[in-house]
Structure 1
Amino acid sequence: MSPTIVTHSGTFHADETLAVFLLRQTSQFKDAPVTRTRDEAVINAGSVVVDVGGTYEPSKHRYDHHQRGFEETFDDKHSIKLSSAGLVYKHFGREVIANILGWNLTDPRLELVYQKTYDDFIEGFDGVDNGVSQYPADLRPKYRDGTSISSRVAKLNPWWNQESSDAILLEVSLTGTEFTERVQYTALAWLPAREIVETGLANRHKVHPSGKIIAFDQFCPWKEHLHLLEQEHSIKDSDAPYTSFTLMTVPQSPESFVSRKALPDVWRGIRDQALSDLSGIPGCIFVHASGFIGGNSTREGALEMAVKALDM
């Protein structure tokens, strides 16, 4: 008998539509038909059941999270309980990602993409469906944002005064498209940037004996990677206050606007030849008034600015 996917009827939500999409990308449940019901007999007969049924039993492919006593999280580093999307992703995510990217399950890059996709994408589904606020209870947002994926899925439900519908594949397509795009970005853009930053970090003592300047071979988003790699390799943040492709200061955290060591105050807000005369470095273009970034017409000049700034 062909496998079937069962989920609940009535109002649909982002988590079970993503769970269905993920299952339909696996070899076991590839393009399996979806039944929406609350009939226990139909639920019990399903090959795989998500977001309904009152039990979490992976060996039987039962993935509900509503029952009393359910406390499953993604791993011991995460505290938010899993929704049906998180449960299915935890058990099938590696296979789904490998299928989307055409990678082998033994590919060493797979685990990084699997973990990163949970943090950046899946955990949000878990938090929303389990009613976990992003902010402390005493903080109220100043405006509403109706463009989140959960909001968009909710809007695809029939209005209260329209006839109900059991159609779900449109919603599965919506959540599935965003998941696929996130996986592709993580694997094909985020991961190559990490490799560039890791190479720059490893070679920092070749750039300057102090190891305090990191040079990248090309531009890439680097802030998150640098902080993560410093933690992984137990590198103290004071070892690298500057990066040199364009001259940028390293922030105290990826989200921070406070630099570990801002560019010299005397250079800030000065441009072009006036800055070259002041610094004694040819080709200077500018240093931002806040001291977090500077520019030079050559890479060698940017490096010279970074070296000189270390001692100022």
Structure 2
Amino acid sequence: MSESDTKRANTMDQPTIGTHDGSFHCDEALACFLLRLLPTYKDCAIIRTRNQEKLDTCTVVVDVGGKFDPTKLRFDHHQREFAHTMNSLDNNKRWTTKLSSAGLVYFHFGREIIKEVCKTDDSTTEVLFDQMYDNFVEEIDAVDNGISPHEGQPKYRVASTVGNRVARLNPPWTEKNPDFDAQFKKAMNLVGQEFLEVLNHYNDVWLPARKHVVNALSTRKEVDKSGEIIVFEQACPWKAHLFALEEEADEKINIKYALFTDTHGKWRVMAVPVSPSSFTSRKALPEVWRGLRDQELSDKAGIPGCIFVHASGFIGGNNTKEGALAMARASLKM
């Protein structure tokens, strides 16, 4: 056993997490927070250093050290040859964004963390694992690796992301005796609490909607013989579930419109987007209805009770379920 292996073995009864000192970023702050959600690392110290001898004594090392070796709990991504993505580590996953230390820790410990926090079974854990990477961790990986979410010059700057807020916690250059370690603890707590907030939202709010989407799909041909309209008796977060269930289905499903009630008990008809986050609809409501309201819209559509159709045609409203369904059926034919 080498000297470094001996030092590491001697610290196994008191696990430590190593990461680099100085200015910090969102990825190692999240990586350290995630590790401390696990019972093994719950109370362990975090050692911030670039001294390799000190790093060699740490149980886990993230974002520093020049090595990616999960068997030795080394999770750096800065080495020249590193090119791992979720897809390269698991070809069942679709994401091809290069991983940061956050993504590496999440890939190897994320399922265990989700089970620890949410007490989920294996099937539910996998759904949440994918959802959290898609909607939280991948952004941190991409930003840390300098990967833009768009081509060309953005139309405006988004400066309120969790990564920006973590960056602002770094001590200012004007401070004579900056305490990076104290600020790093704040950064860990900021990004970590946001991770937990998002995870709990998906587990407690988003995931229960899945059964409603399953039911809506199973009864879609009772709603309309086309099978392209679904109805929810109450509003719920249905879009991501719909796309996932369409992809998993043995038969081709291509829902065009979803009906649901609003907070006032009125009915909405929404054109299904081409992807969960897209503003482009598979089949928008008819152009001749767009921007019209109330009686003018009802007269134009020949459907009583119309309330509005948005100028882009992605959504409309009617006083009754029957009226909203009539709008959806008419839209299919136009």
One fold, TM greater than 0.5? yes
TM-score (norm: length of structure 2): 0.82
Instruction: Give CA-to-partner distance per residue, 1:40-76, whole Å, 9 cap, x none.
Output: 2211111111111111111211111112312221124
Aligned residue for 1:108, secondary structure, equals: helix
User: Do structure 1's residue 173 and structure 2's residue 186 form an aligned pair?
Assistant: no
User: Do structure 1's residue 125 and structure 2's residue 146 form an aligned pair?
Assistant: no
2:172 matched residue in structure 1: 159
Structure 1 residue identity aligned to 2:178: S
Shift of 1:143: 4.3
Instruction: Give CA-to-partner distance per residue, 1:185-205, whole Å, 9 cap, x none.
Output: 222222223332232122201
Shift of 1:252: 3.5
Any conservation in 2 of the 1:19–1:85 contact (CA below 8 Å)? yes
Shift of 1:281: 4.3
* 40-49 or 71-80: bigger deviation: 71-80
1:112 matched residue in structure 2: 127
Aligned residue for 2:86, secondary structure, equals: coil
Judging changes above 3 Å, is the alpha-carbon distance between structure 1 residues 269 and 93 closer, same or farther for their aligned structure 2 residues?
Answer: closer
Q: Distance in 2 between matches of 1:37 and 1:285?
A: 62
Which residue, 61, 64, 68 being the options, matches 2:73?
61
Judging changes above 3 Å, is the alpha-carbon distance between structure 1 residues 40 and 241 closer, same or farther for their aligned structure 2 residues?
Answer: closer
Alignment of 1:28-47 (within 5 A): 28-47=40-59
User: Do structure 1's residue 149 and structure 2's residue 162 form an aligned pair?
Assistant: yes
TM-score (norm: length of structure 1): 0.87
Instruction: Give CA-to-partner distance per residue, 1:218-277, whole Å, 9 cap, x none.
Output: 11233343333322226546x432222222222344444444334445555554455556
Judging changes above 3 Å, is the alpha-carbon distance between structure 1 residues 209 and 141 closer, same or farther for their aligned structure 2 residues?
Answer: closer
Judging changes above 3 Å, is the alpha-carbon distance between structure 1 residues 285 and 31 closer, same or farther for their aligned structure 2 residues?
Answer: same
Shift of 1:111: 0.4
2:318 matched residue in structure 1: 296
- Structure 1's unaligned 5+ residue stretches are none
2:228 matched residue in structure 1: 212
Q: Distance in 2 between matches of 1:123 and 1:141?
A: 19
Shift of 1:134: 2.5
Aligned residue for 1:38, secondary structure, equals: coil
Q: Distance in 2 between matches of 1:176 and 1:54?
A: 25
Q: Distance in 2 between matches of 1:183 and 1:208?
A: 36
Judging changes above 3 Å, is the alpha-carbon distance between structure 1 residues 7 and 244 closer, same or farther for their aligned structure 2 residues?
Answer: same
Judging changes above 3 Å, is the alpha-carbon distance between structure 1 residues 261 and 78 closer, same or farther for their aligned structure 2 residues?
Answer: closer
Any conservation in 2 of the 1:4–1:47 contact (CA below 8 Å)? yes
Structure 2 residue identity aligned to 1:241: K
Q: Distance in 2 between matches of 1:27 and 1:193?
A: 30
1:193 matched residue in structure 2: 209
Judging changes above 3 Å, is the alpha-carbon distance between structure 1 residues 79 and 292 closer, same or farther for their aligned structure 2 residues?
Answer: closer
Alignment of 1:238-277 (within 5 A): 239-245=254-260, 246-264=268-286, 267-268=289-290, 270-273=292-295, 275-276=297-298
2:307 matched residue in structure 1: 285
2:332 matched residue in structure 1: 310
Aligned residue for 1:243, secondary structure, equals: strand
Shift of 1:98: 1.8
Any conservation in 2 of the 1:9–1:38 contact (CA below 8 Å)? yes
Any conservation in 2 of the 1:25–1:31 contact (CA below 8 Å)? no
Aligned residue for 2:123, secondary structure, equals: coil
Any conservation in 2 of the 1:204–1:211 contact (CA below 8 Å)? yes
Structure 2 residue identity aligned to 1:164: P
Shift of 1:280: 5.3
1:50 matched residue in structure 2: 62
Any conservation in 2 of the 1:200–1:217 contact (CA below 8 Å)? no
Q: Distance in 1 between matches of 2:136 and 2:278?
A: 22
Aligned residue for 1:192, secondary structure, equals: helix
Aligned residues: 307
* 286-295 or 42-51: bigger deviation: 286-295
1:92 matched residue in structure 2: 109
2:244 matched residue in structure 1: 228
Q: Distance in 2 between matches of 1:236 and 1:261?
A: 17
Q: State percent identity of aligned pairs.
A: 52
Structure 2 residue identity aligned to 1:154: A
* 19-28 or 141-150: bigger deviation: 141-150
